[in-house]
Structures are given as structure tokens and as C-alpha cells.
A and B are shown apart, each in its own frame.
Chain A
């Protein structure tokens, strides 16, 4: 049964989307329940990945490989290690939550909406499991289409602008990656696009890339990932996309899609181009720090809740990149951990913002104030999530940030010191926002009549809160699954750096 579990997990949502197409469009309830059940079943199918994961194996697990386009050496090759494992789980975990969160807020074109949600899930899982460069590129690009429609059809006022900007930014970055992928294919003897094979060849010295080749190939891959993350100064599409996307879209965009960039760096940039990675580390770390501080400062002055969360993402992902390019175990483990944290806490923040938006149809901070009185449950959960985002000990954010800073200190004290200010700033903007929204007098009489969270909304938020606590209190159940893989990436990275130097 575990034999093709990755394919099942990846393509079950696709099958579900096809199924949805066959149902009549007027039966909204059936469509919603079906989409929810399919994504929940997908989540349960992905659980064995976690429980049967072999902690000691450094290689890929649950691998499947079959010829796809043999004349070009393109294979359908999928597999996961301790890093992609959690990203797949993140995608399967967040999708049902996102679908449930939009239960009442999406009332038009319900069928198409859920079809795109399920297609998006297949795309997201595919990106994280693909081990063939061509296959990876296919998922990477195809996934844009459902997200584009989700933003463009069900988004806010400026949705079209945001959707097109999102698509174009990502596209520009990724086409250059395609050129790099093809170049790598020819440099490796034009036999295969299989990432594992190319990586093995690099590591055992069969494929030697010259300094300038590494330089350019690295940049091409890096640009695609940097735009996706988004790393400063490529971040301008993100606030637009987040603000305009429907809540569920924002959740998945922040929760999963942004991680594709950081995942790509760990999976492809570092192992394939070790020398270039070292060469660019100072530059990338600098961009990461700028992103951390800039994102935090801009978040502080946002009048709009969603925009605030969007800019906080820029800041948080700066941390992730900083951790990756600390190039040591703590930094990298922290980065992977922080990717998950960000997925959960920012996802939860967007859900919460979506819930008050559903009630008040505004996201401006100044319209709120004193929500603690009418919305006690909401305010409590909001507090937990805020603390998680800040990185309070015993909550998930703390573990990730702590590890990243530990790694950063080992790598370069100056960068680490500046990055630490980002932690302080994040406390400032999050707490200030929380204070203005939740505490104080109720200025607007409309806020007095708000109704607290419904059962459905509690069901949406509960798993998020559980994860926040679990990941904060017992981080070992996650960290020990990544340890070996993080070690492998760094080990390969170091050995190839050595091989290259010979």
C-alpha cells in the first residue's frame, strides 16, 4: 500500500477535481462537502508518510520512478526526504482547512472554485515530491494557473491586477530556470533530467561545472526561487496578491506557495551549485536581512490587516533564507522549521483576518478596537497565533527563530545581530496591531454586535492551534525527522564544495 502512496497523495485531489466537474453546478452543498472530503482523505493518505518515515535513512523515501518521455530522458520520478515530507504534509493539512474556511464566504461559481482548490493541491504536492527537473518545472508552472484563477475570479477589488502581476512575476523568474535546467541537462551529457542522477554525478565528480557555469546556473535557479519566496527586492507582487486573494487563497499562498522558493533553494541551489552558493552567500544574506527589517518596518505602518500580515511574511521568509544560507545544521533545521511555522501561524492569521472580514467587510485596523468584549474566543485564539508569530517560547515560532539565529550567529555575528532586531520589530508590529484591534474602547457601534466564532470556524482554527502548541512544546517529533536530511544536504554540500576545489 505504501508502494505508490506519493502518487496517490498527489493525484487524489486531481481525481477529485475531475469528479467535481461531473456534478451539477447548483448543488453547492454537495460540491463543498465533496471537496472537503477529498482533501481530508488526501490528508489521511499523507499521514503514513509521517508515521512510516525512516528516521535514519539519508536518502529519498517512498520513491517511484517510471519513464515518461524516454526520448528526452524525462522520468516520472518522485520521492521525499525529511524536508519535503513536512512540506507535503503542510499542503495536505492546510487545504482542507482552507476549503472549510471558505464554506460560507464563497457563494458564486462554487464548483469552479473547488475544482481550482483541488488542482492547486495537486500542483503544490507535486512541486515538493518531484525529483526530475522537468517534472518539477511542470508542477512549478502548472500550479500557477489555479492560483491565478483563485485570485482573479474570487478576489477583491484589484484582483485582476494582482492575479496578472502574480502570474507574470513568477513566470519571468521561472523561464530562466527552464534555460538553466536544459543547460544542466546538456552539461550532464544529455541523457537525463533526473535530479538524483545529476546530483550523484556532481557529487562523485563525474559532472564538473566550471566556476562561471555554476555562477550563471545558480543565478537562474535563484531568481526563480527568490521571486517566489519573495526575497527583497522581488517582493512587490506579494502584498497585492495577498490582499486581493480570497482568504483560502491567501492561506495557501502564504502557507505553502511561498515555501516552494525556500524549498527550491535547499533542494536545488545548494547541492547542485555549492561553490556558487558560497560565492553568493554574503549577497543573499544581505538581501535576507534587508527583507527582515524592511518587511517588519513596512508591516508596522500598514493600516490594512491583510497587508500587515503580508509584509510580515516578507520579514519571516527573510529569516528562513538567512537560516538556509547560514550553511550550518542549526540554521538549516531552523529554516525548515520556520517554513512550517510560518505556514501555520500566517495561515492562521489570514484565517482570523478573513473571519473578521466576513463579519465587518473591512480589514482596516482603525475600524476595529475592543473586539475582546464581543469576541472572546476569537480574541484568545488571535492572541495565541500572534504570540506564535512573534516567537514566544513554548510556541512554534520560537523554536524556528531560535535555531535560525543560533545558526546565523555561528556563521556571521553582524548579520545575526541585525536579524535579531527583526524579532523585536515583529513583536512591536504584531502586539501593536493586536492592541489596536482587540483592546481599548469599542469605538464603532457595529463592533458591539459581532457574534463570536461559529462551530465551523472553531473547527477551522482548532487544528492550527494544536499544531502551534505541539510544534512549540514537543519540537522533537518534527526535528528528528528532518535532522538526517538536513545533515545530508549540508554534507553533500560540503563534499561537493570540496570536490570542486580539487
Chain B
């Protein structure tokens, strides 16, 4: 499939735009005075808008480019939009956060842009090497972002943990890629799938490759038993980065997880389904049960994010179009509610994120009704109460699970959902039903943060009350999925 050069370039235009803006930010950073650095955030946001615009022109495209390395199909376009939304909201939420923390970091914005490039490439990769490149672009950006507060011990710990475990898991993934290549002489996903189907490959190598890749992806998306790094890493990072980490890399991880397992290894479904089943059940249960006893809100949300990865795995287990559509929907819904929740957590945290205990939310309910009501909505959505995006997402996931007769997994899922209500409600209880132990210091809400909250609230209600448009988009994104 050899298109013209211009056509091929157009397919990765969003990534090119983002990279250019990232480099511009880095360059400008060195030339402008420190006082004017907040301009860089605005520049990056313009970059996101430009990239979003160029992604719009890709709607309807369906083909492979650059010798089959890049695939532009509705699936990848859906994920690109999700990533751009995640990146845009993160940058917007960071504007006043960085100001409050008195952090002057031009590279912060550039790194987020590069991370989005990595995620976009992951979603659009059609072969293992490209996936690995995208993953590393993302991971390296994340390593730096996590440790960006250089003189903060928690931030250092967070970055180091993620770096060590991340490189470890990358090695697993690489080993898996190598084995898959060894068995099939191909790195192209469709070719691998075809080779396996032809029956001429050494299947034990393939099974080993599947296992190793599962470990690699499992680390990235933080599913049991590869989830232990999450709470420490999330707790130590700057809160907007935690928000970003809990939705962005996770969604990107699931995008490649899906594509690799459904395009390259669909015929071995019966071999891997049990492992994924068990992992899904344990991930949900561990995440929710451990979240119940957390007293730090960032750790609680970290465990909650583990649980949500478990719900997404449930949809992966189903291996059906409805399941994949549910994953697409869920990653978007989850991104909105988690970014929203973390944005408010960052505000309540005050300077230096020092107020991150759940008890610090006492009295918020009637002192700052806008923040408290929004956070309640985010938490109710995470808990899966109807008319929120979280409910629609869970509904689609369990719908897919039941369609494929995974009744027990669905039951474990809904019971977990009921458990999760307990700890999400606890925050609401503390906000509305208890009074603060010390005097309540009012929280200033800047326009950009108000915009983030308003947008996410709108998105959650839109996806909750009228999910038809997005779920149709997601379903159509799956129809052309070649497997």
C-alpha cells in the first residue's frame, strides 16, 4: 500500500504537530524570562488544538501506511482523540497548579506533548517495533515527569520506582517481541496473526511470547499481579501528573494490549483467556478491597485506578466487538472522571500537596459547593451510579461480558462495583457530613481549573445521560478492526 508521500505524512500529522510544538516549547523556554514562562502552557494547548484539528481530517481513513508500520483506522482515531483530550485537560489543569507550586518548568509542557506523541503512536502502530518505540517515547517522558520536582523526596521515589519497574517490564515486552519474531519471522501484527493461523509456527514460542507480553503490558496498565508500583508512584507525583499517569498511559497500554492480542493472537484466544480472566477478577478485587482502607486520597484513587483497569480487562476477556467498543468508551469515560477528580484533589491539596488525606476534605461540601458537588459527581461516576459516564461504561462492559456468557466475571464485577461505592461515598460523607477539625482555608479556583472541571462534568453527564453518540462511534471504530 504505497500512497503518495504527502498522504502518508498526513496520517501522522497530529504527531508531527505535537512534536514540533514540543520542540518549540523547549527552544522558547531557554530564551524567555522566567516570569513569562506561563506562555509555554498556552503554546502547548494551541499545539493540542492543532493536533486535534488535524486528527479530525483523518476521520474516515482506514489503511496502513509507511510500509504497514502505521495503521490509521477508526480504532486508532478514537484513541487519538481520547489521548488529546487527556493531554489537553492535563495541560489546562497544570496552568494554575504550576503557578501555585512556583514551579518554573518549560520542559513540563514539552514532555506532556511528547508523551501524547508516544501514546498516539502506540494506538496507531501496526507492528511490534513501532509499538515499542511509542511505548518508550511515552515511558521516558513519564519517567522525567514523575521526577520533575527534583528536590522532593517523594517525587524522586516515585520516578525511580516507575523507572526501575518500567524498564523491567519493557524488557519483558521486548523479550516477548523477540520470541514472536523468532517464531513467525514477522513483526507486523497482521502477518504474525496469519503465520499463526497457517499452523507452520512453533506454538510453544508463541505462548511464551504471549505470556511475556502480558507481563509487559500488565505492568503498564497496572493489573494484578503487576500493580504494586501504582500507589507509591501516584502518591509521589505532582497531582496533575498523577491524573495524567492514571488515565493516559493506561489507556495507551490497553490500546496496544487490545491490538496485539486481537490482531496477532486471536487464534490463541482459548489459551490466554483464562489468564486474563483470573487477572481481571483479582485486579478488580484487590483494587477495591485495598482502596477501602486508604486514608490518603491519592493512594485511594491509585487503588481505584487498579480496580478500573480490572473492569477494562473484563471487556478484554470477552473478545467481542461489543467488548472492544466498551473498552473504547470506558477509557474515555474513565479519563474524564479521573482527571476531574484529581484536579479537585490538587486544589484541595494546597501548596505542596500537603493536604492529601481524605479528612482534609471535611467541610468542603458547604464551603465550596461547586468543588464539592463536582467531586461528588466524579466519585459517583467512578462508583458507577446511573446517569454518569462511569455507569454507562460499566454497563457496556458488563453487557459485553454477559453477551459472551461470562456470568461469573460479570457478577464479580458488579459486586466489586458495590464495594467501591463504600470508599467513594466516604469522601462524600466527609465533605458533606463532617466539620473540619481546623479552620477551613478557602480555595481559590482559577479560570483554567474551572474550565477543566466544567468540561469534565459536562462530558460525564453527556456520556451518562446520552451515551448513544459515543458508543456508536466506538462501535463503528471496532467494525473495521481486522481480525
Contacts and interface: CB of A to CB of B under 8 A. Distances in A.
Interface string A391-427: 0000000000000000000000000000000000000
B7 interface: no
- Most chain A C-beta atoms within 10 Å of own C-beta, residue among B387, B433, B467: B433
Contacts of B468: 68-71
Nearest to A135: B386
A30 B359 CA distance: 34
A179 B398 contact: yes
A168 B421 contact: yes
Interface residues of A, number: 34
Interface in B417-436: 417-418, 421-422, 425-426, 429, 432-434
A138 B467 CA distance: 14
Contacts of A153: 432-433
A142 B403 contact: no
B399 A182 contact: yes
A142 B399 contact: no
B415 interface: yes
Contacts of A71: 468, 471-472, 475
Interface string A43-79: 0000000000000000000000000111110000000
A450 to B, nearest CB: 31
B466 A69 contact: yes
B407 interface: yes
A326 B380 CA distance: 40
A70 B410 CA distance: 23
A179 B421 CA distance: 17
Contacts of A185: 399
Given A69-B466, A163-B429, A141 B472 contact: no
B407 A142 contact: no
B422 A168 contact: yes
A171 interface: yes
A148 B379 CA distance: 14
Contacts of A172: 415, 418
Given A159-B433, A176-B411, A176-B414, A164 B385 contact: no
B366 interface: yes
Contacts of A175: 414-415, 417-418
B451 to A, nearest CB: 21
B429 A183 contact: no
Contact of B387 (A109, A142, A183, A190): A142
A179 B425 contact: no
B53 to A, nearest CB: 28
Contacts, number: 80
A137 interface: yes
Contact of A72 (B386, B433, B471): B471
Interface in B372-409: 380, 385-387, 391, 395, 398-399, 402-403, 407
Interface string A161-180: 00110011001100110110
A387 interface: no
Interface string B444-483: 0000000000000000000000111001100100000000
A152 B432 contact: yes
A160 interface: yes
A498 interface: no
A186 interface: yes
- For chain B, which range describes its interface: under 10, 10 to 19, 20 to 34, or 35 or more residues? 20 to 34
Contacts of B403: 186, 190
A160 B399 contact: no
A149 B425 contact: no
A112 B387 CA distance: 20
Contacts of B422: 164, 168
Contacts of B411: 176, 179
A23 interface: no
A70 B417 CA distance: 26
Nearest to B380: A145
Nearest to A138: B386
A145 B391 CA distance: 14
B123 to A, nearest CB: 23
B348 to A, nearest CB: 20
Given A145-B380, A145-B385, A167-B421, A179 B433 contact: no
A171 to B, nearest CB: 5
B2 to A, nearest CB: 37
B463 to A, nearest CB: 11
Contacts of A142: 385-387
**Main SS at interface, chain B:** helix
B433 A152 contact: yes
Contacts of A145: 380, 385
A237 to B, nearest CB: 14
Contacts of B399: 72, 182, 185
Contact of A168 (B380, B418, B466): B418
Contact of A178 (B387, B398, B426): B398
A175 B366 CA distance: 31
A179 B414 contact: yes
A133 to B, nearest CB: 12
Contacts of A69: 466-468, 471
Nearest to B420: A171
B406 to A, nearest CB: 11
B402 A179 contact: yes
Contacts of B471: 69, 71-72
Interface string A138-156: 1001101100110011000
Contact of B429 (A68, A160, A186): A160
A142 B467 CA distance: 17
B402 A109 contact: no
Contacts of B380: 145
A497 B472 CA distance: 39
Contact of B385 (A141, A176, A183): A141
Nearest to A109: B366
B263 to A, nearest CB: 25
Interface string B198-241: 00000000000000000000000000000000000000000000
A107 B414 CA distance: 39
Contacts of B421: 167-168, 171
A152 B434 CA distance: 10
A182 B475 contact: no
Contacts of A176: 411, 414-415
A218 to B, nearest CB: 15
Nearest to B414: A175
B429 A164 contact: yes
A178 B413 CA distance: 11
A70 B466 CA distance: 10
A159 B410 CA distance: 32
Contacts of A168: 418, 421-422
Contacts of B402: 179, 182-183, 186
Contacts of B434: 160
- Highest count of chain A CB atoms <10 Å: which of B366, B380, B414: B414
Interface in A183-238: 183, 185-186, 190
A178 B432 contact: no
Contacts of A190: 403
Interface in A431-446: none
Contacts of B387: 138, 142
Interface centre among A109, A183, A190 (most CB of B within 10 A): A183
9 contacts: A69-B467, A72-B399, A112-B366, A138-B387, A142-B386, A163-B433, A168-B422, A182-B395, A183-B407
Interface of B: 366, 380, 385-387, 391, 395, 398-399, 402-403, 407, 410-411, 414-415, 417-418, 421-422, 425-426, 429, 432-434, 466-468, 471-472, 475
Given A69-B467, A145-B380, A182-B395, 18 more contacts: A69-B468, A71-B475, A137-B386, A138-B386, A142-B385, A152-B429, A152-B432, A153-B432, A163-B433, A164-B422, A164-B426, A167-B425, A175-B418, A176-B414, A178-B395, A178-B414, A182-B410, A183-B402
7 nearest CB pairs, A to B: A175-B414, A138-B386, A172-B418, A171-B418, A182-B402, A141-B386, A152-B433
